[in-house]
Amino acid sequence: MKAENLRRTRTNVRANVRNVPGPCAHWNDEDADFIREVLDLVGDKWSVLIIGTLADKPVRYSDLADAIPGISQRMLTLTLKHLQRTGLVTRTSYPEVPPRVEYALTELGTSLLSTVLALAAWSADNHAEIRRHQTEYDRAGTVRRTV
C-alpha cells in the first residue's frame, strides 16, 4: 500500500490531525470526493462538448469529430470511453460495410446535461463581469513595471 511516504511535512498536515474543522458547510469530506470525481469528468477539455453534441440525437464517430472544433482523434476516442465507463453515453455499432458506430446519451447523461446547462447559463450571464475583473486585476499588477 506504499504508506511509507506518509512522512509528515509542513504541507498536507491535516491528514495526520484529529479534530479538524469541517472543510465546508455544504458537504463533508466524502461528498467532496464525489463532486471532485464528477468535476474531473466534466471539467476535462472535451467531455462537455461531446455531451452537448449528443444532446438531442445519436451521432456517429466521424460526425462528432467534425462537429467538435479542434478535437483530436485520440481525445475523442479517449473521452468517449471515459463517458461510456461512467454510464453517460452508449456505444452502438452496426455491422455494415463501411462500419457505422453511433454514440448516444443515456438517461444519466441527459440528467447531467441539464445540470451542466445551468453552469453554461451562469457562464453566459457573468462572462462580461468576469472579463471586467480580470482586466482590472491584470492592470493593477502592471503598476510600476520597472524592469
Partner DNA sequence: CAGCATCCCTTCCGATACTG
Partner DNA sequence: CAGTATCGGAAGGGATGCTG
Rounded CA separation 132/136 (Å): 6
Cβ atoms within 10 Å of 31's Cβ, excluding its own = 12
Give, in order, the Cα–Cα distances in Å from 129 to each of 47, 88, 120, 123.
26, 33, 15, 10
Partner in contact with 77, chosen from a copy of itself, DNA, none, beta carbon below 5 to 8 Å by kind: DNA
- Shortest gap between Cβ of 64 and a copy of itself (angstroms)? 9
- Shortest gap between Cβ of 41 and DNA (angstroms)? 10
Q: Which amino acid is at 20?
A: V
Partner in contact with 66, chosen from DNA, a copy of itself, none, beta carbon below 5 to 8 Å by kind: a copy of itself
138 binds a copy of itself (CB under 8 A): yes
100 binds a copy of itself (CB under 8 A): no
Selected from 66, 77, 92, 100, the binder of a copy of itself by CB under 8 A is: 66
Residues 59/103, Cβ–Cβ less than 8 Å: yes
Strand order in the sheet with 100-105: 59-60, 100-105, 89-94
> How many whole angstroms from its chain centre is CA 20?
29
77 binds a copy of itself (CB under 8 A): no
Selected from 77, 92, 93, 115, the binder of a copy of itself by CB under 8 A is: 115
The residue (of 89 and 112) whose beta carbon lies closer to DNA is 89
67 binds a copy of itself (CB under 8 A): yes
Instruction: Look up cell 470511453; give the residue.
Output: 81
- Which string of x and - marks every residue 8-47 that binds a copy of itself (by CB under 8 A)? --xxxxxx-x--xxxxxxxx-x-xx-xxxxxxx-xxxx--
